[in-house]
Amino acid sequence: MPTHRSFRLALACVLVAPLLSAQAPGGEERAPSGDPALAAFLAEHPHGSAEMARLAPLVGDWRIVTRAKQQDGTFVEGTARWRFWYVLDGKVLMDEWRAPKPGGGEGVGVNLRHYDPTAGHYVAKWLSDSLDDWRTYTARFEGDRFVMRGKSTAPSGSEGDARITFYDIEPESFRWKLDWSVDGGETWIPEVFLIEATRAR
């Protein structure tokens, strides 16, 4: 018959074992023992994961130059401000976009991005002052590019498929592009909207 001491020891093992697991709650990858940068990220963001840590280079304030493609193939330039930060102790990356509107005033929108370990991809949700409901995108890293895909609305009001790519991500800059499809992704109109981001000081 087990003693009270052995019962307490077994119970302690059951309670402590999850804390020693190599995975976070929900199945996200935790820090490998040989990755001090990831360990530091998880120490600061206790609900984060290796997947969410990959988005850390975007955190901060950015000065934005935009280029919007017109029907004749020319581009119209604009400016914006973009800020990224973690919420929910690292489980979600939030950002806020602010840009002047052509008719005056300022347009504003927010994104929420998190990793879904069950689906094996990131989920991003976008809401702006011109939308009545969230737009949802799925996303994955393809090499060193972060690629988002989903249904979206063009400035003209038409619906289509959007393919959004963050690329050339460096400590002081990154690039972003939007490709557009009107045939369910069979063909794409490349680079209909471009962003050049420089870290603000």
pLDDT in tens, 65-114: 999 988 888 899 999 999 999 999 999 999 999 999 888 899 999 999 99
Entry pTM? 0.81
152 or 64, which is more confident? 64
Both structure tokens of 56: 């850390």
Q: Quick one: pLDDT at residue 155?
A: 63
Instruction: Write down the mean pLDDT value for the chain.
Output: 85
From the number of C-beta atoms within 10 Å of its C-beta (0-12, 13-18, 19+), residue 197 rates as buried
Domain ranges of the chain: 4-48, 56-199
Range 56-199 has CATH code 3.10.180.10: no
Residues sharing a CB contact under 8 Å with residue 102, sequence separation 6 or more, in sequence order: none
The lowest-confidence range among 15-19, 98-102, 169-173 is: 15-19
